[in-house]
Structure 1
Amino acid sequence: MSARFLLGTHQPGWLKKVEFTEVPLFVSDRRLRSYVTLPQARQNWSLDSGGFTELQYFGQWTVTPAEYIARVRRYRDEIGRLTWAAPQDWMCEPIIINGGRIGRQVFVGTHLSVAEHQRRTVDNFVQLRAMAPDLPFIPVLQGYTVEDYLTCADMYAAAGVDLTTEPLVGLGSVCRRQATDEAHQIILALHARGITRIHGFGVKILGLLRYGHLLTSADSLAWSLDAYYLGTPLPGCTGHKNCANCLRYALRWRTHLLTRMTTAPTHPGATSMTPTEPSNHGALLLDALLAALTRYVILPTPQAADAVVLWIAASHAQLAWAHAPRMVIRGPEKRCGKSRLLDVVEATCHDPFITVNSSSAAVYRSITEDPPTMLVDEADTIFGPKADGNEDLRGLLNAGHQRNRPAKRYDANAGRVESIPTFAMAALAGIGAMPDTIEDRAVVVRMRRRGPGETVAPYRHRRDRPALRQLAEDLSLWLRADLATLEQAEPPMPVEDRAADTWEPLVAVADYAGGHWPERARAAVLALTAEADEQGQPSTRIRLLADCRTAFGTDTALPTATLLERLKTDPEAPWIDYGPTGLTAMKLGTILREYDVRSTTIRFPNGQAKGYQRSDFTDAWARYCPAPQGTENGELLTFGRGSRTSRTSLNIAGQADEAYLPGTA
């Protein structure tokens, strides 16, 4: 595709650069018009009329066709090698027509109809061609829906312009939705009309992967925005704060795009894409995301910041994963940055779905085969004391960690049972710990208040979110272009079991990006899982098992009353307040039975009593709460368990394998 992808640039001087001898450029009239001495082109190039900016600022064209023709003729004669020029077309995007704001950009609006924009676009092309038949103006189709574009084609036909015979036809107003099925359907509809030699304005990686074989050419300036949000220049780049106008960065970005396009088929009349050297575009995107994240949020550790970056990136490739890791954002108090971090996650993740005030039914119905990313702020409303009525949502968050765990609902109207997908990545923010069932499946980020000297940039939704959404789109373009590779990835993991399931998508993204990210990802895995092990609270049942081991000490058997007494002597343990009267023999037995530990009648030196033998605990201790290596428990005697009747057995403390005494049960 090296002959058919035009690299957009703000720098007309690049036309004369030897580095661009084989790189076709796309340059705007708005950049060239002020030049007294024009550069002489070393390569073929095309001219953008600058219509989007013209309509954004003024709501109309302030340049007459005669003025534009004069400038285009000058560019052709003095710069040379001009292949084609866009007309003074009228874009049909809603923001252009209705006006408004996107971040800091203000659009005055034309306040005309789509049909009027199309009429003016066609009339301008006809006028330009009539006034300057020697200049290479191309017709451009404008609209917003498939029907709009077909109507515009009919307008050209009515004006005597046969688009099926034109050397090239531009397709406008698709830049911001170039990766969608709608854009694909528009191009397919035009092909069905015989309009096959199409230039896609602003079409880049994901659009080209979907329908690049249906285009003759495309252009993009997206590399400049990527570089701007990366924030820091490439190693070796000096003299500028970022690479938004950097020749090296532009060429590297183009190399990455062409590399990704090497396997795309072509249609007759389109030049094939040729392979080029690999690029670290993915690593640069992750670097840019990290820079954006740490601009607005103070994370507790660099490893936590890396984990958040990789979690956000992984959300764009959910179709490839077997598990959907949760991210728990928790803090001990208010004003620890939890909601601000969730704001940045919302702006950069895939298809964010905020569940505030959403019914469980609405949440369930919002999860599709290509799931959104669920975001839950103030998660204590779901899991805390105020959680009444959220059982369905809690069930969804627990079940949705793994594929093929649908919810079953009976549809009375249809008379059948429905399977509703639950698989979706989710981020939850709140004060304090989340339930074990959530945190065990999550990347846990423990936020804290900013300390003295720690500052961040203020985040303003209307101003800052659009730029972050552009970064999200770039992440999606990069990752969704190769989902098959990600789906088959089995990265070496530094952890096992459920932790490996949770972290595998993040490590797979890091390995796919390359650069320094594989090493950083594994460092984050080890750091955050170790932190979770150190700070995590065991379940009440595990705590009871461990406390029983402490209570036994070197004893081989204990009466139930003695065991309870020893358990309650620890002032930091929960047993003295476990229920209205503290931990009772019945509650103790109920919990321990889950581990196949049961009380029995034992004969102690001061008489027989219900109690527990140490040997009955050893298997449960080894499986659920193994003692640290090297722990000394003193010299222990081994006691057999003896036979058991249907009700109980009688064991004698201090005797082995002779516990049953007939007639005493």
Structure 2
Amino acid sequence: MSDEKEGDELVRKLAELAKKKESEPPPELTSEVVINLAGMTPLQYAQQLAREAKKYKTPVKLLEKAVEAVKVEQESEKLLEPHWEVIPAEEAVDAASLFAKIEARILQHVAMPKQLAFVCALWTGQSWIHEHATYSPILYVTSAERDSGKTTIMGIIGFLVRRSLSSVGISAAALYRSIEKWHPTFVIDEADEAFVDNPELRQVINSGWTRGQGVVRCDPDTNEPRKFSTFCPKAIASKGKKAPDTILSRAIFITQKRRTKAERVAHFSHVDDGGFQRLRSQLARWAADNGAVLGSAQPAMPEGFLNRLASNWQLMFAIADSFGEGKRAREAARQIAGGTDLISAGVELLQDLKAMFNASTLDYLTSKAIIASLIADPEKRWAEWNRGKPITEKGVAGLLHEYQIISRDVGPEDRRVKGYRKADFADAWNRYEPPEKESTPSDPDNLPRSRAEPCNDSIFAENSAAQDELAAREKFDGFSSEINALRGCAGKNAEIAPSSKFSADLDLDADFDDGLGALRRCAHCGRPGAEIWNFDGRAVPLHDICQQPWADKEGV
């Protein structure tokens, strides 16, 4: 065979081998191959990418996307902060002891009511079982003035919650991308102006209150729309409450005051320490052991806690119930909710109109009379409703239209004018009037650090020294069981005879308890901290020094 023929035969065989090789299925593109590419230097990656794509018969762009996805996953697994690395405690954790320690650590550095520190501790625990939560209330730390301990609280919380990501302000895009990447607990300080003229951030914050919600944005890599989750724990601190009511209604407020010279606290250095590390370790173990059960719990709600207010507190009530502090948690919740003015302009208008109707003998109000009454109080929003100008009849009509209440011709037949009928408000009042309006709980700004102070009206000031001494319960001869029925009260008529209708075996605290505790307001002075006293079988909330003035006024 000639050389020419031998060459042709060799070419033919090579072509057959190439054809046979092409017909064979390519080797499997495994994750190891992609991970190996992701770990190369930029130069190595540029040299090897095309070879691997050809070898595995995969489009280069598709292989590039797979490598990028691995890089993103690897990056997300990197711990952004050293305190994110937590090893759960080996032994089971006593929840009561754990949350008491968290509360004590907060109070070590911050002058604040114990009830508020307790709420911060519960919210901290909630961040560790957030994967089991349905709702994610914002912990909103606020104060009237600077230097009130907000930054200190945020710093302490930052070392206690799960995967805290601390920031001074934040943009909407940074928020949802961080959630996507790290699933953190946001601790955002100095958010005074964050929500002003920032509708996108408001949308992201609002959507993050409920599990499963998010925002749809275009992926910058693919330019395709997709959903970004916004569900994560968020703690926000700001001076004042410069946020829309849609955000405020999703929040639990911790209202701080500047501490006095008499209030001693330890300096907080904003440095992680062994104490924080032990608490995080115990929280991780507690969450692993209890998270699923607590997440499915349906705790009882205090009276008046409905809809979003109830949802805000649901998981924290469940946590507190689990270690026997449910009653304390509900008392704190009532105090915070009662002292937080979150009603919308529409609901406030409904309340003001109800007060006007109650003060009138007519079943209608004219629009002119309504406007005159609304703008008469310069401290209410109506006096400067629209850019410093008072609200108008059109403004009132616009607000009431949302409740399907419209103006009509009212008044005598010969003098009909525009106005509103009382009957048209019945449904709106029933649905939107805040519950227990007649028993407004105390302002959280004035939460008692110990027992509530008695009233200190000036007319009683001269008796204060004697009252302190006579504060012990007196025994009365008319009671064979020597029940401590009434307390002594200084003054000429200190003796208030016990009622003959008062049962000797009646437990006053049990039988007459209205559940308000320190929130109970005095029937005489209207201030909280009153106790229940029996007058002719009538349970009357009064302070010690208010008994006699009230009895004189009522003719008892």
Letter in 1 for 2:256: M
1:443 equivalent to 2:252? Answer yes
Write the deviation string for residues 60-103 of structure 1: whole angstroms up to 9, x where unpaired.
Answer: xxxxxxxxxxxxxxxxxxxxxxxxxxxxxxxxxxxxxxxxxxxx
The 2-side partners of 1:316 and 1:399 are apart by: 20
Query: Partner of 1:111 in structure 2?
Result: none
Aligned match of 1:625 in 411, 415, 433? 433
Letter in 2 for 1:544: L
Q: How does 1:381-420 map to 2 (within 5 A)?
A: 381-383=193-195, 387-388=196-197, 390-411=198-219, 413-420=221-228
Query: Partner of 2:485 in structure 1?
Result: none
The 2-side partners of 1:472 and 1:284 are apart by: 14
Letter in 2 for 1:397: I
- Equivalent residues of 2:107, 2:114 under 8 A apart: no
Q: How does 1:284-363 map to 2 (within 5 A)?
A: 284-299=97-112, 301-363=113-175
Query: Partner of 1:101 in structure 2?
Result: none
Aligned match of 1:376 in 169, 188, 199? 188
The 1-side partners of 2:297 and 2:427 are apart by: 37
The 1-side partners of 2:139 and 2:338 are apart by: 16
The 2-side partners of 1:576 and 1:204 are apart by: 54
Q: 1:341 to 1:479 in 2, by over 3 A?
A: same
The 2-side partners of 1:307 and 1:504 are apart by: 13
- Equivalent residues of 2:95, 2:286 under 8 A apart: yes
Q: Structure 2 length as normaliser, TM-score?
A: 0.58
Query: Partner of 1:459 in structure 2?
Result: 268
SS in 2 for 1:287: helix
The 2-side partners of 1:397 and 1:526 are apart by: 28
Q: Structure 1 length as normaliser, TM-score?
A: 0.49
1:533 equivalent to 2:343? Answer no
- Equivalent residues of 1:377, 1:430 under 8 A apart: yes
1:282 equivalent to 2:95? Answer yes
Q: CA deviation at 1:550?
A: 2.7
- Equivalent residues of 1:369, 1:421 under 8 A apart: no
The 2-side partners of 1:294 and 1:628 are apart by: 32
Q: 1:546 to 1:370 in 2, by over 3 A?
A: same
Q: 1:367 to 1:551 in 2, by over 3 A?
A: same
- CA RMSD between the two structures: 3.1
Q: CA deviation at 1:367?
A: 0.8
Letter in 1 for 2:372: E
The 2-side partners of 1:343 and 1:312 are apart by: 12
SS in 1 for 2:175: helix
The 1-side partners of 2:86 and 2:116 are apart by: 32
- Equivalent residues of 1:602, 1:610 under 8 A apart: yes
Letter in 1 for 2:353: C
The 2-side partners of 1:441 and 1:348 are apart by: 22
The 1-side partners of 2:311 and 2:261 are apart by: 38
- Equivalent residues of 1:304, 1:524 under 8 A apart: no
Query: Partner of 2:416 in structure 1?
Result: 608
1:509 equivalent to 2:319? Answer yes
Q: How does 1:567-582 map to 2 (within 5 A)?
A: 567-579=374-386, 580-582=388-390
Q: 1:482 to 1:334 in 2, by over 3 A?
A: same
- Equivalent residues of 2:119, 2:332 under 8 A apart: no
Letter in 2 for 1:446: T
Write the deviation string for residues 92-140 of structure 1: whole angstroms up to 9, x where unpaired.
Answer: xxxxxxxxxxxxxxxxxxxxxxxxxxxxxxxxxxxxxxxxxxxxxxxxx
Unaligned runs of 5+ in 1: 1-146, 148-180, 186-202, 207-221, 223-253, 258-279, 631-665
The 1-side partners of 2:336 and 2:186 are apart by: 25
Q: 1:413 to 1:341 in 2, by over 3 A?
A: closer
Q: 1:375 to 1:557 in 2, by over 3 A?
A: same
Q: CA deviation at 1:411?
A: 3.1
The 2-side partners of 1:475 and 1:587 are apart by: 52
The sequence identity of aligned pairs, in percent, is 30
Query: Partner of 1:489 in structure 2?
Result: 297
SS in 1 for 2:194: helix
The 1-side partners of 2:145 and 2:275 are apart by: 30
SS in 2 for 1:420: strand
- Equivalent residues of 2:217, 2:226 under 8 A apart: yes
Q: CA deviation at 1:606?
A: 5.1
Q: CA deviation at 1:369?
A: 8.7
The 1-side partners of 2:411 and 2:295 are apart by: 61
Write the deviation string for residues 479-502 of structure 1: whole angstroms up to 9, x where unpaired.
Answer: 124433333333334344322211
1:566 equivalent to 2:369? Answer no
The 1-side partners of 2:138 and 2:245 are apart by: 12
SS in 2 for 1:565: helix
Q: CA deviation at 1:315?
A: 0.6
Letter in 1 for 2:194: I
Q: 1:293 to 1:562 in 2, by over 3 A?
A: closer
Structure ranking higher on relative contact order (CA contacts 8 Å, 6+ apart): 2
Query: Partner of 1:276 in structure 2?
Result: none
The 2-side partners of 1:326 and 1:628 are apart by: 25
- Equivalent residues of 2:253, 2:340 under 8 A apart: no
The 1-side partners of 2:344 and 2:240 are apart by: 16
